Structure 1
Amino acid sequence: MLEHWSSSEVDPSIRLDYWRDVAHNWVDVQPLSPGDALEASWSLLRGENCFFGTKRSTAYEMRTSPRHVPPGEDMVVISLLEAGEMRLNAAPGEHQHATAGMLGLYAPRQEACYHWGEGARQTYVALPRSVVLAALGREPGNLLLTPQRCALAPALAAQLAHLGLLARQPGRVSAVEYAGLLDATRALALLTLRNLGRQGEAADLPDLEENLHAGRHAAALRFMEQHAHRQGLDAAVIARGAGCSRTRLYEAFAAQGQTVMGALRELRLQRARAFVEHSPRLHVGALSWRCGFADPSDFSKLFRARFGLSPTEWHRRVWMEPALRRGA
Structure 2
Amino acid sequence: MPSSKPPCVPEHLSSHDVEPALRFDSWRERAHQWVELQPLPPGAELDAELLILRSQTCIFGTMRSSAYEMRAASRRLANAPDMVVVTLIQSGELLRDAAPGELQRVGPGTLGLYDPRRMGNYRWSQGSREVFLALQRDDVRAALGREPGNVPIPLERCVLAPALASQLNHLALLARQPQKLDGVEYAGLLEGTRELALLMLRNLGRQDSRTGQSDMEEDLNAGRHAAALRFMDREAHRHDLDATAIARGAGCSRTRLYAAFASRGETVMGTLREIRLQRAKELIERSPRLHIGSLSWRCGFADQSGFSKLFKMRFGLLPSEWHHQTWAPPTTALPNRSAAPAGFGPK
Match of 2:29 in 1: 21
Q: Does 1:97 align with 2:97?
A: no
Match of 2:126 in 1: 118
Q: Does 1:251 align with 2:261?
A: yes
How far 1:235 sits from its partner (Å)? 3.7
Q: Equivalents in 2 of 1:208, 1:121: separation in Å?
A: 26
How far 1:6 sits from its partner (Å)? 1.4
Match of 2:202 in 1: 194
Task: Decide which structure has the larger Cα Rg and report it.
Answer: 2
TM-score, normalised by the number of residues in structure 2: 0.60
How far 1:155 sits from its partner (Å)? 0.7
How far 1:135 sits from its partner (Å)? 1.4
Pick one of 8, 11, 21 that aligns with 2:16.
8
- Secondary structure (helix, strand or coil) at the match of 1:89 reads strand
What are the ranges of 5 or more consecutive residues in structure 2 without an aligned counterpart? 1-8, 226-239, 248-252, 270-347
Pick one of 39, 49, 52 that aligns with 2:57.
49
Q: Equivalents in 1 of 2:129, 2:102: separation in Å?
A: 21
> Do the aligned partners of residues 204 and 45 (structure 1) sit closer, same or farther apart at CA in structure 2, a change above 3 Å counting?
farther
Q: Equivalents in 2 of 1:110, 1:18: separation in Å?
A: 25
Cα RMSD (Å) of the superposition?
Answer: 3.8
Q: Equivalents in 1 of 2:183, 2:73: separation in Å?
A: 34
Q: Does 1:145 align with 2:178?
A: no
* Cα deviation 1:252-293 (Å, max 9, x = unaligned): 7999xx99xxxxxxxxxxxxxxxxxxxxxxxxxxxxxxxxxx
How far 1:163 sits from its partner (Å)? 0.2
> Do the aligned partners of residues 15 and 150 (structure 1) sit closer, same or farther apart at CA in structure 2, a change above 3 Å counting?
same
TM-score, normalised by the number of residues in structure 1: 0.63
> Do the aligned partners of residues 13 and 103 (structure 1) sit closer, same or farther apart at CA in structure 2, a change above 3 Å counting?
same
Match runs of 1:25-174 below 5 Å: 25-71=33-79, 73-89=81-97, 93-174=101-182
Conserved? CA contact 2:208–2:215, under 8 Å? no
Counterpart AA for 1:126: A
Q: Equivalents in 2 of 1:176, 1:243: separation in Å?
A: 53
Percent identity over the alignment? 52
How far 1:236 sits from its partner (Å)? 8.1
Q: Equivalents in 2 of 1:236, 1:60: separation in Å?
A: 27
Counterpart AA for 2:134: A
Q: Equivalents in 2 of 1:92, 1:189: separation in Å?
A: 29
How far 1:90 sits from its partner (Å)? 8.0
